[in-house]
Structure 1
């Protein structure tokens, strides 16, 4: 079996419906936790009042993305107009989510090592801040891993395939 066939087999497995659904179900608690923690600590970060709002909004967006993937494709299959509207809608939400990630990163990282004690002036609740900090950092880590998988693995497979052919 050549490298190209191995890569195609692995990609088809990773993109299969059961793997994607399982990954989404495993990731479902994260947006729920973002919504809950953001809502519970809504007034617990006077130092940067947008951090709990950031958690609630990103949680709602992530949850809606996960839930929309469970909609049957038959809802828009065969109707090009609905399919286009759906694609534009997802693109707009994705762009908003990316911009909100940048804004949230500024809000979170700009006050790094905040005061956690309300008695010492402007503060941010420790649970809220650390959860937001690590969730945002996790997004960047996952984006880097995705970049490596999408860009580097095919290049390595291609090099291995050309090496087998004797080039």
Structure 2
């Protein structure tokens, strides 16, 4: 909800890059849709439909993350006075937090895969 509020409130407040408030606004809508889809996915019997919709939203989120990174990070040194500080710093730190979360998820997946391979190797060694 903060993304929706910030993106809407500062919609015309960034002459440096007019896409930054749009990025924040769409990011808020996207988070809202992903959250609703997750709730529906966990409580519905139409699993495949909501799973496909969730996957589509996730792919769009990843593409939007990269697009927002280009719009926000390239102006890091020159945003003062040309883009509202609250808007720019909100977009900047939202991106940083998302990259940290993505890194943690990737690291957890790698650890899980390694653990699975070790357990599979141990089972094959015992039974083989």
Same fold (TM over 0.5): yes
CA pair 36-83 structure 1, distance change in 2 beyond 3 A: same
Does 2:1 correspond to 1:42? no
Matches within 5 A, 1:7-156: 32-71=1-40, 73=42, 75=44, 77=45, 83-117=47-81, 123-152=82-111, 155=114
- State the TM-score, normalized to the length of structure 1: 0.63
Superposition RMSD in Å: 2.6
Aligned residues of 2:8 and 2:25 also touching (Cα < 8 A): yes
Partners of 2:58 and 2:41 in 1: CA distance: 20
The answer on whether the counterparts of 2:4 and 2:25 sit within 8 Å (CA) in structure 1 is yes
Displacement over 4 Å in runs of 4+:
156-160
| Secondary structure, aligned partner of 2:72 | helix
**CA offset digits 1:10-63 (Å, max 9, x no partner):** xxxxxxxxxxxxxxxxxxxxxx11110111000010100101100111111111
- Shift of the 73–133 alpha-carbon distance from structure 1 to 2, 3 Å rule, reads closer
TM-score normalized by the length of structure 2: 0.80
Task: Work out whether residues 14 and 20 of structure 2, in 8 Å CA contact, stay in contact via their aligned partners in 1.
Answer: yes
Separation of aligned partners in 2, 1:135 and 1:96:
17
Following superposition, the deviation at residue 69 of structure 1 comes to 2.3
Indicate conservation of the 8 Å contact 2:72/2:91, yes or no.
Answer: yes
Q: What is the number of residues matched between the two proteins?
A: 123
- Structure whose alpha-carbon radius of gyration is higher: 1
Q: Which runs of 5+ in 2 are unaligned?
A: none
